Structure 1
Amino acid sequence: MAVPELLAPAGDLEKLQAAVIYGADAVYLGGKQFGLRERAGNFTLEEMAVGVEFAHARGVKVYVTVNIFAHNRDLDDLPAYLRQLEEIGVDAVIVSDPGVLALVREITPELPVHLSTQASTTNWMAARFWQEQGVSRIVLARELTLEEIREIRRQVQVPLEVFVHGAMCISYSGRCLLSNYMTGRDANRGDCAQACRWRYALVEEKRPGEYFPVEEGSRGTYILSSRDLCLLEYIPQLVEAGVDSLKIEGRVKSVHYVATVVSVYRQALDDCRADPARFQVQERWLEELGKVSHREYTTGFFTGKPAKAAQGAVDSIYRRPYTFVGVVREYDPARGLALVEQRNRFARGEELEVLLPGGQTFSFVLTGLYDEEVSPIDAAPHPRQRVFLSLPRPVQPWSLLRRREEYNN
């Protein structure tokens, strides 16, 4: 059976490559301007060209965000940028602003346009309007139930994209002014300070400086912070509803996050394709999703209006049960040694886990650790340090190493 495209975030070139290697059908990314993730690594035009070539060589599409709410001054440089994107060969641009859409249609009429979730498409009349404007795909608002998605699908022919995993914004489809009001950093221009994730207390106007806690849990209060979205168990319903693309949030997340989440959803989609009637969420998939840095999970609006508890983090805002420590760059089968690029400190004697492209994992105790001259060392403490280590079985490049941490909820 046909299953939706799996669309993964690519905050920089390395994350793009990881998303492709771990099973994405398409990736979305931003350039150095005009996108809504200013603090992601983002891509120069040269890096974007390399990324497009890497993805296309493996049958993966690349979509570029041009989804700011543009001011007059933004329109001056945008035509040249659009022509450059078309020349690079990107597969679509993602826009939210009607003026930007009109400009794309004028400057690069052959370039497909996806309508961003920032446009807050929540009904079939709006979807039909955008279809008539010539958009190639609509990224639906996150605030929709399954039945609402089905109704939109019945009413329009344009392909539909739905977020299935990652951070949720407390504001309507990300249209937030809180960050701009409190810090001067405009979320609608890609520079959100994530003020909704901060800890808050109560102050009485005649007692300035005297803070009264609004207790939600022992570690503080995050009254505006949503839990993270996870719709893994609803993949068959999304397929049945006619959704064309399943989108993972996370351009500012780590390579480990991107690879792990993409791997899980790739396996789930492949299982659904093979036998949709007998599809079941595997416990190992849930375990994998629990290994990345995340907030508690919720189904958001998908099954109905979220309960109060589903939107606020109850105890701690993040769960980080594993530390990502390295990426395998090469493997020498003759010596049983892997060349690893360090991401966090690790040392001999530690138990590490390996995630392989394809989703398999295995654990081992690190006994052999060597510098680049293959001299024994006790630890790899330096960022991006390259070391060799002994492994009990062969691994592929892009395998990831992580360490379980002592973790209390």
Structure 2
Amino acid sequence: MNRQIEVLSPAGNMDKLKMAIRYGADAVYCAGQSFGLRASSSNFSNEQLKEAVDFVHSHGKKIYVTCNIIPHNEDLVGLEDYLKFLESIGVDAIIVADLGIFLLAKRVAPNLERHVSTQANTTNYLTTEFWKEQGASRVVVAREVSIADIKTMKEAADIEIEAFVHGAMCISYSGRCLLSNYFTTRDANRGQCTQACRWKYSLVEENRPGEYYPIEEDQHGTYIFNSKDLCLLKYIPDLVEAGVDSLKIEGRMKSVHYAATVTKVYREAVDTYLADPAHYEVKPEWIEELEKISHRPYTEGFSVEKPDETAQNYGASSNTQTHDFIGLVEGYNAEEGYAYLEQRNNFKVGDEVEFCQPHGELVHHVITKMTDEDGNEITVAPHAQMKVRLYIDTPLEEYAMMRRKCKVKGQ
């Protein structure tokens, strides 16, 4: 198949952006310090945005910047200059939810492509046609649409379609939520969501204040709004055949480990499908990789049918993962047989570890010898970001992630 399918990865900061590109993303999306919906993420200063654009373009990839808040009048201060700045540094597109921001960008930064955010709730083909007529080059469809809906929307307008395929789901209609505003006065639609949907709730009867009843018969209460995470590896053929141009991974506030691992899995899955569409199957090792990162149980969302009660995770709001990210490879000395590592978590001689590489196969290893950066032999690497020489016969790629299986509680 000659058609190009974009793997679009989250970039909450510069480290995540660079790792996503190194692990196979065709494009990344990020935010400046204003006008985006992830105020809790570290985000990018203007200087960092310029650096990010230069880095991404040097690798032949694309970068999109979110301007997807639902603004009030006071939120518009500085917006015009910001849009002109994004155009001047060569950002490939902005992601916009509000029609006012969309029209302003069209007027003051006409060479800046505009993608319509999922926050704009595009759920039908008429709306797709509308955004095409307004000059949008891409629509990010709402999470509430099925693959069949997407096909109809694509056929209605000659416009690029982007769809979420992996990551956290919102229990509100494509993020149009008032829970955070109500409980904490932090506006979810202006980038300050507290994820109140993930909190633990109990039932209180009006005439019995102070008496809390679990909504289910469980001593811990229940997390009634806590959606499982989306995973559509299985449906890549269907999404491509429906006309989706960009497969979007959620997670700008998640870790470097998450960004790199999920990107690599979807990179391999897309390449496998494009190489032989008729025989595409989800490989067990892809699923194993997705279990290693921090996540909630997985769901297929609205892809085929409306989700039922099984799409919610009632038992807990915390994530699970099978492996910890404990070191980053900065180089390999072939003559002396050791990798340069930057420590990301405590590790020691005797640990069974594995290396996830940007391009190569997974490498398993038992640590038998390591030294500090001066060559002094050590048995443990306890200090944050300390430099370590780890002796291993197998050459390792730069930016490979060293991981260790999580310890079971109580051990």
Where on the TM-score scale, by shorter chain, does this alignment land: which range? Answer: over 0.9
Deviation at 1:216, TM superposition (A): 7.0
Identify the residue that residue 108 of structure 2 maps to in structure 1.
Answer: 107
Contact 2:214 2:220 in 1 (8 A): no
The reply to whether residue 276 of structure 1 matches residue 273 of structure 2 is: no
> Following superposition of structure 1 onto structure 2, how do residues 124-163 of structure 1 map, counting pairs within 5 Å?
124-163=125-164
Cα pair distance change 1:308/1:241, threshold 3 Å: same
> Following superposition of structure 1 onto structure 2, how do residues 143-222 of structure 1 map, counting pairs within 5 Å?
143-215=144-216, 220-222=221-223
Give the SS at the match of 1:222.
Answer: coil
Q: Which moved more, 1:316-325 or 1:10-19?
A: 316-325
Cα pair distance change 1:331/1:395, threshold 3 Å: same
Identify the residue that residue 28 of structure 1 maps to in structure 2.
Answer: 29
Contact 2:7 2:26 in 1 (8 A): yes
Give the SS at the match of 1:341.
Answer: strand
AA in 1 matched with 2:404 = R
Contact 2:360 2:397 in 1 (8 A): no
Identify the residue that residue 9 of structure 2 maps to in structure 1.
Answer: 8
Identify the residue that residue 18 of structure 1 maps to in structure 2.
Answer: 19
> Following superposition of structure 1 onto structure 2, how do residues 50-89 of structure 1 map, counting pairs within 5 Å?
50-89=51-90
Deviation at 1:271, TM superposition (A): 0.8
Deviation at 1:277, TM superposition (A): 0.5
Contact 1:216 1:315 in 2 (8 A): no
What are the Cα deviations for residues 112-171 of structure 1, in whole angstroms up to 9, with x where unaligned?
000000000000001111111101100000001111111111111111100000000000
- Structure 1: gaps spanning 5 or more residues: none
Deviation at 1:374, TM superposition (A): 1.9
AA in 2 matched with 1:223 = I
Distance 1:395 1:289 in 2: 22
What are the Cα deviations for residues 289-338 of structure 1, in whole angstroms up to 9, with x where unaligned?
11111000000000111011113344564212111112112222222222
- Structure 2: gaps spanning 5 or more residues: none
AA in 1 matched with 2:235 = Y
Deviation at 1:64, TM superposition (A): 0.3
Q: Which moved more, 1:271-280 or 1:377-386?
A: 377-386
Give the SS at the match of 1:338.
Answer: strand
> Following superposition of structure 1 onto structure 2, how do residues 285-296 of structure 1 map, counting pairs within 5 Å?
285-296=286-297
The reply to whether residue 118 of structure 1 matches residue 119 of structure 2 is: yes
Give the SS at the match of 1:8.
Answer: strand
AA in 2 matched with 1:236 = P
Deviation at 1:218, TM superposition (A): 7.4
Distance 2:380 2:185 in 1: 43
Distance 2:40 2:317 in 1: 24
Identify the residue that residue 345 of structure 1 maps to in structure 2.
Answer: 346
Identify the residue that residue 337 of structure 2 maps to in structure 1.
Answer: 336
Aligned residues: 408
AA in 2 matched with 1:103 = L
Deviation at 1:220, TM superposition (A): 4.8
Distance 2:47 2:317 in 1: 40
Deviation at 1:351, TM superposition (A): 0.9
Cα pair distance change 1:255/1:152, threshold 3 Å: same
AA in 1 matched with 2:78 = D
Distance 1:41 1:90 in 2: 19
Distance 1:60 1:264 in 2: 18
Contact 2:357 2:396 in 1 (8 A): yes
Identify the residue that residue 391 of structure 1 maps to in structure 2.
Answer: 392
Q: How large is the RMSD of aligned CA atoms in angstroms?
A: 1.6
In the superposition, the TM-score normalised over structure 1's length comes to 0.96
Deviation at 1:392, TM superposition (A): 3.1
The reply to whether residue 267 of structure 1 matches residue 268 of structure 2 is: yes
Distance 2:101 2:360 in 1: 39
Q: Which moved more, 1:104-113 or 1:325-334?
A: 325-334
Contact 1:264 1:359 in 2 (8 A): no
What are the Cα deviations for residues 368-397 of structure 1, in whole angstroms up to 9, with x where unaligned?
222221212232222222222122311111
Distance 1:259 1:227 in 2: 21
Distance 2:261 2:46 in 1: 27
Contact 1:35 1:68 in 2 (8 A): yes
> Following superposition of structure 1 onto structure 2, how do residues 242-321 of structure 1 map, counting pairs within 5 Å?
242-314=243-315, 317-321=318-322
Tell me the percent identity: 52
AA in 1 matched with 2:400 = S
Q: Which moved more, 1:341-350 or 1:254-263?
A: 341-350
Deviation at 1:407, TM superposition (A): 4.5
Identify the residue that residue 241 of structure 1 maps to in structure 2.
Answer: 242
Q: Which moved more, 1:371-380 or 1:234-243?
A: 371-380
In the superposition, the TM-score normalised over structure 2's length comes to 0.96
Q: Which moved more, 1:351-360 or 1:110-119?
A: 351-360
Deviation at 1:217, TM superposition (A): 6.3
Distance 1:381 1:32 in 2: 34
